[in-house]
């Protein structure tokens, strides 16, 4: 398949066959608990985050409760996620700002989200897509790697990759597609490499590699 558009159509169709329904891998009950879980997921597996958050949310599942819990207690509850000092500070300061400036509610705009401590564009994109249903295309290292491997982008960073993928896929597909890509990358086309034995997409797109 010589064109990016043709490759994108094949990939989108194959992912829809494999993952017709998807759920956010991070366990949560609302926009706030999702935001906390996404902050915790930096350089940490979703599985580990899902082991940690029940105890944390049992004590603090709202910004107000998180502020009362305090940064040190947050740190102790999340320490197995790694980077606990930075993450506990981000969660505490983010929660304080939500209480002080947003009435304890997670804002539903990119601009407001990206002003929160610990929240960058990718995290804001996840919240906009999965909590508020706004078309967004969060690009993490898994998606960036697959997009490069499948020659959907020549971007050297996630910013360019996000822009390229948005051009190739319609907005109504973005929110579901980014989860489908993550699931596929973990199951079939891992960071360690791809020989085409498990990954049908690589085998179909680039048979000379296999």
User: What mean pLDDT is predicted for residues 149-174?
Assistant: 94
User: What mean pLDDT is predicted for residues 34-58?
Assistant: 96
Q: pLDDT per residue over 1-26, tens digit each?
A: 679 999 999 999 999 999 999 999 99
Instruction: Check if 197 is active-site.
Output: no
Domain CATH code at residue 146: 1.10.1670.10
Domain CATH code at residue 57: 1.10.340.30
pLDDT band, very low/low/confident/very high, at 192 (cuts 50, 70, 90)? confident
Q: pLDDT per residue over 48-72, tens digit each?
A: 999 999 999 999 999 999 999 999 9
pLDDT > 90 in the chain, percent: 84
Active-site residue, selected from the candidate residues 4, 122, 164, 176: 122
Residues of the domain holding 184: 4-23+136-209
Residues 46 and 119 in one domain: yes
Instruction: Check if 122 is active-site.
Output: yes
pLDDT above 90 (res 193): no
Choose one of 130, 150, 165: the last residue of a domain.
130
Q: Is 151 left (phi over 0), alpha (psi -120 to 50) or beta?
A: left
CA separation for the pair 145, 184 (Å, rounded): 12
Choose one of 72, 107, 130: the last residue of a domain.
130
Q: pTM score, two decimals? A: 0.91
User: What mean pLDDT is predicted for residues 149-156?
Assistant: 90
Tokens at residue 50, please?
Answer: 């899902």
Residues 36 and 124 in one domain: yes
Active-site residue, selected from the candidate residues 46, 65, 140, 166: 140
């Amino acid at each position: 398949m010589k064109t990016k558009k043709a490759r994108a159509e094949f990939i989108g169709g194959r992912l829809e066959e494999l993952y017709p329904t998807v759920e956010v891998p991070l366990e949560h009950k609302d926009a706030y608990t999702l935001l906390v879980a996404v902050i915790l997921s930096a350089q940490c597996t979703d599985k580990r985050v899902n082991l940690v958050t029940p105890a944390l949310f049992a004590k603090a599942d709202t910004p107000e409760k998180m502020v009362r819990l305090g940064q040190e207690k947050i740190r102790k509850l999340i320490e197995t996620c790694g980077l606990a000092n930075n993450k506990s500070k981000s969660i505490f300061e983010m929660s304080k700002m939500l209480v002080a400036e947003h009435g304890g509610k997670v804002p539903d705009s990119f601009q407001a989200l990206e002003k929160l401590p610990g929240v960058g564009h990718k995290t804001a994109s996840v919240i906009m897509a999965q909590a508020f249903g706004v078309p967004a295309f969060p690009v993490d290292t898994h998606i960036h790697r697959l997009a490069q491997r499948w020659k959907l982008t020549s971007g050297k960073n996630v910013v360019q990759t996000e822009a390229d993928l948005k051009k190739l896929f319609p907005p109504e597909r973005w929110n579901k597609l980014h989860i489908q890509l993550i699931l596929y990358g973990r199951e079939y086309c891992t960071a360690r490499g791809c020989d085409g034995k498990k990954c049908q997409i690589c085998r179909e797109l680039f048979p000379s590699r296999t």
